[in-house]
Structure 1
Amino acid sequence: MKKDNKQEIAYKFIRSRILEGTYVQGQRLVFDTIGKELSLSPIPIREAIRRLEAEGLVTIKAYSGAVVSTINETEYYEVLSTLAILEGYAVSLSKAHVSDEQLKILHEINNSISEALKQFDFNGYIQLNKEFHLQTIKNCPNKSLYTMIKHMWEKLDAIRRLKPMYFPVRAIEAISEHETIISYLQNSVTGEEIERFVRKHHMAALKDNEAKK
């Protein structure tokens, strides 16, 4: 087994444990214990932890070592407000490159989001919502921007899984707004119009959580 493959196995294993809630906020990640579970040495686990630290899922503390990051409210607002700005611009850049197949996929994903909501499938809703938004910028000509937004979505998803209070009560409205985004991608609106709408769509989630306080 190649070193890179071992690191990837460790990365996916630890990341999935964090996102599904098996490893909780503040929990110390013991390299030896994880290594025994995966039959791996500490080296690929340490490298995987560095990747997770870069994503914000893990924090390295002086006396505790690697622990699952503790999410605070300020961080959620910072991530989502920044995502609103970046994704709005990315969607405006992507509009000219959207295919009919991509529009079909967006409709299908949004239908699945609606079904997940009906089934009270919290994790399914989160995953599908991320897939929808990343699909809107799949053909973004600025690849660095796409990568940055993808990482921010991973961080946002982690926050929403670690703190279920961030599940949007305006989910029905969000699904309807997704249909508007698809329509904007399909029809002759300007890049500025779709950028404003996507930004408004994300910022509404911030207002949603403000209302719940």
Structure 2
Amino acid sequence: MKIFDLLANGKQPVITTKLEAVYNVLRENIVSGKLEPGTRLIIKKIAQDLGVSEIPVREAIRMLEAQNLVTMTPHAGAQVATFDLDDIREVTDIRSLLEGYAARTAIPFIGDEAIADLEMCIEEMERCIHTEDNVNFGILNRKFHQKIYEHSPLKRLYRMIYEMWDGSERTRAVFSLSKRRPQESVQEHKAILKAIKEHDGDTVEKLIRDHRQRVGSILIDHLKKK
């Protein structure tokens, strides 16, 4: 894993310091599920893999610990934080309600340009499936939903959803944990887009809620088996 290998939407991230670079790489690998919960983070090895000293690695791990993405355990050192199943259930229920309603209220304001953007997202997601690029698939998945909800006239609702995304971004790991999930997700997105084009608010709201609940259920089922 090289320090500049991590791409987002096909673009090189802007890096200002080695600390920022290490932090970005580790965080993305945790959030995307490449580094599974409980994985030990061996500072010396990470530093060697990224071609940096151990100092920025230690500092990046401290930053991730402050965000509850990493835990420090006596005699075991740094580990990728495990998921809280009750928290996943609660967040899933809240997000499904908020996002379903946001999509319903957004429909009258989604024009041809936004429809084209949503279609492009789906096409790019399908390309990610072929290349097995789960990292960018997860980023595009969020982009698809964002482009819907941002058209809601309820701006406070949109801000609430955005804040919840930042606090539950690790659900993107589902695309790495479940081999079938990316293809299933694309089909669900196509159904959502079809309902949007038909201005069918009831169906859009239900599809969004079911979509969000399915992600939570897959993630919980996987974690229960570990």
The residue that corresponds to 2:159 in the other structure is: 144
Q: 1:180 to 1:24 in 2, by over 3 A?
A: closer
| Other structure's SS at 2:41 match | coil
Amino acid paired to 1:144? R
Conserved in 1, the CA contact under 8 Å of 2:99 and 2:209? yes
Identity %: 24
Q: 1:33 to 1:125 in 2, by over 3 A?
A: closer
**d(CA) in 1 for partners of 2:22, 2:39:** 17
Matched residue pairs, number? 203
Conserved in 1, the CA contact under 8 Å of 2:174 and 2:218? no
Conserved in 2, the CA contact under 8 Å of 1:130 and 1:153? no
Amino acid paired to 1:57? L
Equivalent of 2:110 in 84, 89, 98 = 98
Q: Following superposition of structure 1 onto structure 2, how do residues 151-162 of structure 1 map, counting pairs within 5 Å? A: 151=166, 154-161=169-176
| Other structure's SS at 1:59 match | strand
2:178 is aligned with 1:168 = no
Q: Shift in Å at residue 156 of structure 1?
A: 0.5
Conserved in 2, the CA contact under 8 Å of 1:71 and 1:159? no
The residue that corresponds to 1:181 in the other structure is: 192
Amino acid paired to 2:193? I
Structure 2 gaps, min length 5: 1-15
Q: Deviations over 1:55-111 (max 9, x none)?
A: 553223355343112347666555544432232233234435434322111112213
**d(CA) in 2 for partners of 1:41, 1:209:** 33
**d(CA) in 2 for partners of 1:211, 1:84:** 18
Conserved in 2, the CA contact under 8 Å of 1:113 and 1:125? yes
Structure 1 gaps, min length 5: none
RMSD of Structure 2 on Structure 1 (CA): 4.1
Conserved in 2, the CA contact under 8 Å of 1:6 and 1:40? no
TM-score, structure 2 normalization? 0.63
Q: Shift in Å at residue 12 of structure 1?
A: 0.6
**d(CA) in 2 for partners of 1:40, 1:138:** 42
Q: Shift in Å at residue 137 of structure 1?
A: 2.2
The residue that corresponds to 1:197 in the other structure is: 207
Q: Deviations over 1:8-52 (max 9, x none)?
A: 32321212443473x45423334566557454674x655543553
Q: 1:153 to 1:184 in 2, by over 3 A?
A: farther
Equivalent of 1:108 in 117, 120, 124 = 120
**d(CA) in 2 for partners of 1:211, 1:70:** 14
Q: Deviations over 1:150-185 (max 9, x none)?
A: 325621013543xx247439x44x434323322443
Q: 1:99 to 1:51 in 2, by over 3 A?
A: farther
**d(CA) in 2 for partners of 1:35, 1:210:** 32
Conserved in 1, the CA contact under 8 Å of 2:174 and 2:219? no
**d(CA) in 2 for partners of 1:25, 1:210:** 13
